[in-house]
Structure 1
């Protein structure tokens, strides 16, 4: 029997696709005068959302300010493409806004239903992904939230809909009802991706294939994965007791390494390079971005105030 959740999700995707077709904008012009153009094509810089969760900022890893970008609750950048997940009032309470190079107006705008949660861009800059909360606003209370995650191809305008509509393969059968997906991260082939699936109170690292529209479970207790530039490791949040600890999973060996970051991580980590992971952690009511070695050694280094960190890469 088809579940109400599946019917609702399918109906929502139809609405989203129709709305997206009507609202995708190819814009030009002087842009918003309050926004200083970002240098998205400059590799090795840090892009974060400010501590007030309102705007994107770009800076060097040494803290030099390079510009203030558009309004954004969650952001990610790669290969000259910036994706912003912007919160709005109303039933379609977020917009996915995509910017290219130094543009101050979005090239693409997609309406999505839910509160901003996660965002990512593929290494090529061709694919953008997002996660939103449909109900609840935290992953902390197992079973008390509902999320949806989607992917959009900027090359041809293909909307992959919700990951809930992908075929799922696990070691044991899992019900369609109650599946939640979040925290997408991409490989360089623009086909392979990873995400978290939660079902029956357990989380799983899932490897996805866009061309086949399927997801395969790889590892348990993995949340908000982030694929390393060499595509051999996953940085992620691991639930330990009542809190989350930052870990790195070696996809070749299965070795799991806790990093030298304190517990309390509630963001999707990002790789600054093959040896360093950036993450955001709230302290005294404000988020701060830190860098920590990916091999479990060393100690965190504070980079800036803010959240949702990613690093710019050269356009391909």
Structure 2
């Protein structure tokens, strides 16, 4: 064998050994990172199958320590924000054990909600020039049914109890509700007919019994009462309002000032929302509040921290919401009657939905 051939073989061997060494280091580092993460209380995530309808089950199971009451078979599905290969994937846990091991779906969403076997996933789409966003309608098995381009950064998503109607909100400009220099667009989709109302700004506004028009109208935070009626936030003239909307009539009617990101209770009698409090800092102005729709009486909840989220009713007595955490955000819960105290449901989690 010539000297040149021997050198070529030697170089090849060195390259192979270097590759093996690198792979070993990466593998060891990954194992150490996962071990450190678990030792630090990070969530355990495993691959599996996630569906938006629970398997058949009967009866009621006692809740795990610190968990809300849950029916057997119910699961909590949410976006995992834990670092690792499953970051930003939808994962599920038993609703009675929200801090338990997670089943990963392989489906990535920035914002998510589901009901009645339908899911809405607001997703980032990487591109050669820059990223874009799409709203993806998911079936009960998380398979994509249809998708729609989004004109901004995803921020809110909701599905009606039957699963027929879906709504989403994006920031067209800006990325926070705390200031005034932002613009939103809210859309409503009928997943039976595939009719899309691209923006609620096309709806007629009724305020104090009269038609109201203003070029600065912004909407966000839809929550559905049924397949025709919904509640949402309208911002105009420097003020926010709770509005009740009618999809068939294409109208919204103002009900009350200073209501943002409403969330309707399972029995349709109360709305949880974030209320802006004048005495709080301008960049952290909200307190979680519940409004009784029959008496219009407000109840301030025990959570004293700033909640910039659209809360979710875990059941008739308990609300879940996101707060900043070590992995980006954690899910917390608090009683809806103003009593009790907040408790952390699970770490590294965002945009939950109860399915089952």
**Structure 1 gap segments, 5+ residues each:** 1-33
Q: Is the 8 A contact 2:204 2:211 kept in 1?
A: no
| Shift, 1:201, TM fit | 1.4
Alignment deviations for residues 225-280 of structure 1 (CA, whole Å, 9 cap, x no partner):
10000000000010113311100001100000011112211111010111111111
Partner secondary structure for residue 261 of structure 1: coil
| Shift, 1:176, TM fit | 2.2
d(CA) in 2 for partners of 1:181 and 1:93?
21
- Indicate yes or no: 2:136 matched with 1:93: no
d(CA) in 1 for partners of 2:204 and 2:211?
12
Q: Is the 8 A contact 2:204 2:212 kept in 1?
A: no
d(CA) in 2 for partners of 1:223 and 1:256?
13
Q: Is the 8 A contact 1:133 1:146 kept in 2?
A: yes
d(CA) in 2 for partners of 1:245 and 1:285?
23
Higher relative contact order by CA 8 Å / sep ≥ 6: 1 or 2? 1
Indicate the residue corresponding to 1:139 in structure 2: 177
d(CA) in 1 for partners of 2:310 and 2:123?
17
Indicate the residue corresponding to 1:274 in structure 2: 316
Aligned positions of 1:195-214 closer than 5 A = 195-214=232-251
Indicate the residue corresponding to 1:56 in structure 2: 90
d(CA) in 1 for partners of 2:48 and 2:187?
29
| Shift, 1:80, TM fit | 1.6
| Shift, 1:126, TM fit | 0.8
**Structure 2 gap segments, 5+ residues each:** 1-45, 55-72
Name the count of aligned residue pairs. 277
Indicate the residue corresponding to 2:353 in structure 1: 310
Indicate the residue corresponding to 2:51 in structure 1: 39
Partner secondary structure for residue 279 of structure 1: strand
| Shift, 1:93, TM fit | 2.6
d(CA) in 2 for partners of 1:264 and 1:254?
23
| Shift, 1:92, TM fit | 8.5
Greater gyration radius: 2
d(CA) in 2 for partners of 1:35 and 1:176?
49
Indicate the residue corresponding to 2:293 in structure 1: 251
- Indicate yes or no: 2:257 matched with 1:185: no
